[in-house]
Amino acid sequence: MRVIILDTANQVAQYAADLLLETVRKKSRPVLGLATGSTPISTYQQVINAVQAGQASFKNTTTFNLDEYIGIDDTHPQSYRHFMKHYLFNHIDIDLANTHLPMAASLDETRLVENAQDYENAIQEAGGIDLQLLGIGENGHIGFNEPTSSLRSRTRIKSLSESTIEANKRFFADGEYQPHLALTMGIETILESKHVLLLATGHKKAAAVKAMVEGPLTAMCPASALQQHAKACLVLDQDAAAQLSLKDYYVWCEKQRQELT
Ligand code: GLP
């Protein structure tokens, strides 16, 4: 795992935006995996700024989001489709037909299982994901792969854990319905992405980051599965990196890399 520690959350966002933009510029038909949550919002803002300044175009880009809540329509203000339109898609030149999230509005299990398979097929048909952006839950989840998720899992129905429901409560108004189920890419789906870029900022993520990087490979910390990915890059601010035992080593490694041409 490549661990990059930057001073501020803003620098993390800039780093991530630059990598997303580089992928979009380099590839003729880029395929990005995108994430929701509060962490990537400032990354998306930096991407919007670059696109609006004419520095990049998303016309040929296809996107696949990690997950979607089950049982709410994708026009619902709490849906991740709505989140993505609000924070990114509506402000860049992407064709909405090329933006994908798991179809999760139905409560019919058979339908959801079919939609999950369709999602896997669509990723394959697009040629796989070039760069998957990830956040991390305080309990170590990626997407909505909660602790004890199979490390070989694929897109499927997941029940959210109590701690995730609690952590995400802040997005919902008092008394507003908060879904407890989601359709999420699986851990193996995520591991098949050519590159993975995980962002973590703030002290609340420090324990999960420590478990992901320096803990055992275990379903109890789904993000630890990234130890198995050949091109996983973690970009952290100082707060999120605070519990890492080998912090100085990671900083040293990055300095050494800069000496290479
Ligand atoms: C959410 C999402 C994840 C996200 C994580 C952290 O529940 N399903 O994809 O990475 O929790 O969110 P945040 O960035 O708001 O801390």
How confident is the model over 127-166, as pLDDT tens digits? 999 999 999 999 999 999 999 999 999 999 999 999 999 9
Q: Find the 128 Cα to ligand 1 centroid distance in Å.
A: 22
pLDDT of residue 21 exceeding 90, the answer is yes
pLDDT at 4: 98
Q: Which two tokens stand for residue 219?
A: 């379903």
pLDDT at 118: 98
CB-based contacts of 185: which residues, under 8 Å, 6+ apart? 33, 64, 66, 67, 102, 119, 143, 145, 154, 155
Residue entry with tokens 């809540």: 69
Q: pLDDT-based confidence at 48, cuts 50/70/90? A: very high
Average pLDDT over residues 5-11: 98
Return d(Cα 4, Cα 36) in angstroms, integer: 21
pLDDT at 147: 97
Q: pLDDT-based confidence at 173, cuts 50/70/90? A: confident
Predicted TM-score of the model (pTM): 0.97
Average pLDDT over residues 40-56: 98
Return d(Cα 105, Cα 121) in angstroms, integer: 19
Return d(Cα 68, Cα 81) in angstroms, integer: 8
The pocket around ligand 1, CB under 6 angstroms, is made up of 35-39, 66-67, 135-137, 143-144, 164, 168
Reduce the secondary structure of 197-250 to three states and give it as a string: EEEECCHHHHHHHHHHHHCCCCCCCHHHHHHHCCCEEEEEECCCCCCCCCHHHH
Instruction: Read off the pLDDT of residues 174-229 as tens digits, 9 standing for 90 and up.
Output: 888 899 999 999 999 999 999 999 999 999 999 999 999 999 999 999 999 999 99
The residues annotated with a catalytic role in the active site are 67, 139, 141, 146
Q: Check: CB of residue 27 under 8 Å from CB of residue 58.
A: no
Q: Find the 137 Cα to ligand 1 centroid distance in Å.
A: 5
pLDDT of residue 261 exceeding 90, the answer is no
Topology of domain 2-259 in CATH is Rossmann fold (3.40.50)
Q: pLDDT-based confidence at 90, cuts 50/70/90? A: very high
Phi, then psi, of 159 in degrees rounded to 5:
-85, 135
pLDDT at 172: 87
What is the per-residue burial (b if ≥16 Cβ within 10 Å, else e) of 113-123?
Answer: eebbeebbeeb
Mean pLDDT, all residues of the chain? 97
Residue nearest to atom 5 of ligand 1 (CA): 137
Q: pLDDT-based confidence at 97, cuts 50/70/90? A: very high
Return d(Cα 66, Cα 136) in angstroms, integer: 12
Q: Which ligand 1 atom lies nearest to the CA of residue 66?
A: 9
pLDDT at 167: 87
